[in-house]
Amino acid sequence: MIGIFDSGVGGMTVARAIEQLYPDLPYIYFGDLAHSPYGSKSREMLIEYSCRNTDFLLAHGAKIIVIACNSASSTASHCLTKNYPLPIVDVITPAVNKAARLSRNGRIGLIGTRATVNSGVYASRLQDIRPDCEIHSQACPLLVPLVEEGWLDRRETKMIVRKYLRPLRDKQIDTLILGCTHYPLLSKIIIPRIGKRVHIIDSSVEAALHLKSLLDADSSLYALLRAPAVENRYFVSDLSSPVQSLAASIFGRPVHLEKVDV
Amino acid sequence: MIGIFDSGVGGMTVARAIEQLYPDLPYIYFGDLAHSPYGSKSREMLIEYSCRNTDFLLAHGAKIIVIACNSASSTASHCLTKNYPLPIVDVITPAVNKAARLSRNGRIGLIGTRATVNSGVYASRLQDIRPDCEIHSQACPLLVPLVEEGWLDRRETKMIVRKYLRPLRDKQIDTLILGCTHYPLLSKIIIPRIGKRVHIIDSSVEAALHLKSLLDADSSLYALLRAPAVENRYFVSDLSSPVQSLAASIFGRPVHLEKVDV
């Protein structure tokens, strides 16, 4: 079984991408809504929550952990990798690798929450693999609340997206990393505003593709994840009605969310 | 000493209002940023957090508790009043009483977070004292993130405020309760959009005035709160930089925030 966690339901875009590649692999999802949003929390807090979430997924039989949250990936993935004896997939490394491969002019844009941008982790990982690249970051703290309200196509959302993207346009980036699992839900309004020639890197899709590369390389891991063949389950640490409808709109079907105390 | 708590720094508008009335009374403020925002959390969660916050303030010598948060007031004030042997001031009752006194046509508007609006507590308290009134509520979940970003006077904020207020205008309300401690920071853009003839009830100011009425009625309480004469302190359960500047802009002076684990 695959274990996936996020601060809320945004990480379901990662679950959806995994499900599209591997409809036969069961997963368990945990959304830490009691502590959501992670984007405005401190580093120490995010490490604590990430360990707690990982323990919960392990207790339910997860054999691999996917951190489906950029804020948690940027602050806690190193710590989880060091302390847990199983593979940890984050949403950052795969996106950085893809951006480094695709960019021609070496000017790469990043949009994310304040926690993700302030961590500087995208910039430092990119420096490790392509030191000629410049990363231009923009924190977009209003986009998560807008998505969570379901304002995916509203005029106000478009104006706010345009405002956030303007400095990146001015820097003439040729590649843009959507550094938050909520943002793929806004890609239709992001693409025309950043320009169609700019490559868009969806960190949710890249994380799923990275999982695929691990499975392609290790067939025993695939067998381990496949058993036991159970239903996917979706747990949350708090539950309110807008969350139900956002989850349904991500998967295009009703999703049964189970509330748990962690 | 007065103990004041909120999910974050919005409740500092209540602390500010108390300070303006009683510059000589010391207070201790607790902002539960580790669990912020409260507006999207469930009822059970808010009761748990509110008890924890109250315990923290009591341990620091508070002799009266001010719940400077509408979401917590609407869900947890009853429970706190029942379980703690000291006066509890919430931000709802005083605002409801004022609205009931001021409204002529009995059509009262309420804006707040989703938790506050869904609780129905404003409507039921108003029914108790003026059954001829109708309350028209509008949840405004994007206003807290906009204020926390410091977008107090931006075009996008004005458009979003206009959109939220339109249904209340259509109902021809003559009184509007700002049912969230963040909203007084937006009153300059709310007033022209709801219409200057509409009475605006600031729940932060009304809570401070209610505290005043308690002190006017009981001079021993005043003496109890006055001793010991110590500095005001501001604690938060998590700390990030935008919060520092929002706190400073509420008080018009730098505010030293101390991070604590609760």
> How many domains does the structure of chain A reveal?
2
Predicted pLDDT at B161: 98
**A163 and A143 in one domain?**
yes
Predicted pLDDT at A229: 76
Residue to test with chain B: of A9, A32, A36, A41, most B Cβ within 10 A:
A41
**B226 and B165 in one domain?**
no
Q: Collect all residues with Cβ–Cβ distance below 8 Å to B25 and sequence separation of at least 6.
A: B1, B2, B18, B222, B225, B226
| ipTM exceeding the 0.90 mark | no
CA pair distance B70, B50, nearest whole angstrom: 12
The pLDDT tens digits of the residues spanning B147-195 come to 988 899 999 999 999 999 999 999 999 999 999 999 999 999 999 999 9
Q: Collect all residues with Cβ–Cβ distance below 8 Å to A151 and sequence separation of at least 6.
A: A157, B142
CB atoms within 10 A of CB A214: 14
- Shortest Cα–Cα distance, B46 to chain A (Å): 10
Look up B140 and say whether it is catalytic: no
The residue of chain A nearest to residue B243, with distances taken between CA atoms, is A40
Spatial contact of B70 and B179, defined as CB atoms under 8 Å apart: yes
Q: Where are the alpha helices (DSSP H) in A198-256?
A: 203-217, 219-226, 241-251
Closest partner residue to B35 (CB to CB) among A35, A163, A242 is A35
Give the residue among A258, A230, A250, A179 at the shortest CA–CA distance from A15.
Answer: A250
Interface check for B35 against chain A (CB to CB < 8 A): the answer is yes
**A233 and A155 in one domain?**
no
Spatial contact of B227 and B24, defined as CB atoms under 8 Å apart: no
Say whether pLDDT at B245 is over 90.
Answer: no
Rounded (10°) angle between helices A203-217 and A12-21? 40
Closest partner residue to B41 (CB to CB) among A34, A145, A242 is A34
CB contact under 8 A, B238 and A42: yes
Spatial contact of B207 and B179, defined as CB atoms under 8 Å apart: no
Predicted pLDDT at B36: 87
Predicted pLDDT at A80: 97
Q: With pLDDT > 90 as the criterion, what percentage of chain B qualifies?
A: 84
CB contact under 8 A, A141 and B145: yes
CA pair distance B247, B230, nearest whole angstrom: 20
Spatial contact of A181 and A70, defined as CB atoms under 8 Å apart: yes
Predicted pLDDT at A179: 95
**Domain membership of residue A193 as a residue range:** 93-203
Predicted pLDDT at A130: 95
CATH code assigned at A190: 3.40.50.1860
Chain B environment of A45 (Cβ under 8 Å): 34, 238
Chain B environment of A261 (Cβ under 8 Å): none
Predicted pLDDT at B109: 98
CB contact under 8 A, B163 and A149: no
**B76 and B37 in one domain?**
yes
Candidates A51, A133, A140, A180; catalytic one: A180
Summary mean pLDDT of chain A: 94
Chain A environment of B239 (Cβ under 8 Å): 42
Domain end among A203, A218, A243: A203
Residues 129-158 of A with CB under 8 A from B: 141-142, 145-146, 148-149, 151, 155-156
**B101 and B50 in one domain?**
no
Chain A environment of B238 (Cβ under 8 Å): 41-42, 45
Chain A environment of B45 (Cβ under 8 Å): 34, 238
Say whether pLDDT at A15 is over 80.
Answer: yes
The pLDDT tens digits of the residues spanning B62-119 come to 999 999 999 999 889 999 999 999 999 999 999 999 999 999 999 999 999 888 898 8
**A178 and A102 in one domain?**
yes
Predicted pLDDT at B43: 86
The Cα angle at residue A33 between residues A230 and B65, in degrees rounded to 5: 145
Look up A180 and say whether it is catalytic: yes
Interface check for B67 against chain A (CB to CB < 8 A): the answer is no
Q: With pLDDT > 70 as the criterion, what percentage of chain B qualifies?
A: 100
**A254 and A196 in one domain?**
no
Q: What is the CA radius of gyration of chain B?
A: 17
**A227 and A187 in one domain?**
no
CB contact under 8 A, A142 and B146: yes
DSSP string, A98-156: HHHHH-SSSEEEEEE-HHHHHHTHHHHHHHHH-TT-EEEEEE-TTHHHHHHTT-SS-HH
The pLDDT tens digits of the residues spanning B40-70 come to 788 889 999 999 999 999 999 999 999 999 9
Residues 80-119 of B with CB under 8 A from A: 114-115
**A122 and A50 in one domain?**
no
Q: What is the number of residues in chain B?
A: 262
> Does the bond joining B37 to the residue before it have cis omega, within 30 degrees of 0?
yes
Residues 171-210 of B with CB under 8 A from A: none
Spatial contact of B89 and B47, defined as CB atoms under 8 Å apart: no
Predicted pLDDT at A228: 78
The pLDDT tens digits of the residues spanning A62-91 come to 999 999 999 999 889 999 999 999 999 999
Say whether pLDDT at B247 is over 90.
Answer: yes
**A139 and A223 in one domain?**
no
Spatial contact of A208 and A21, defined as CB atoms under 8 Å apart: yes
CB contact under 8 A, A240 and B35: no
**B98 and B197 in one domain?**
yes
Interface check for B48 against chain A (CB to CB < 8 A): the answer is no
Domain end among B172, B187, B203: B203
CB contact under 8 A, B141 and A141: no
The pLDDT tens digits of the residues spanning A147-201 come to 988 899 999 999 999 999 999 999 999 999 999 999 999 999 999 999 999 999 9
Residue with tokens 């994310």: A112
Q: Where are the alpha helices (DSSP H) in A22-69?
A: 43-59
Residue B261: which pLDDT band, with cuts at 50, 70 and 90? confident
CA pair distance B123, B96, nearest whole angstrom: 9
CA pair distance B169, B158, nearest whole angstrom: 15
End-to-end CA distance of chain B: 20
- Shortest Cα–Cα distance, A150 to chain B (Å): 11
Residue to test with chain B: of A33, A240, A241, most B Cβ within 10 A:
A240
Summary mean pLDDT of chain B: 94
**B196 and B219 in one domain?**
no
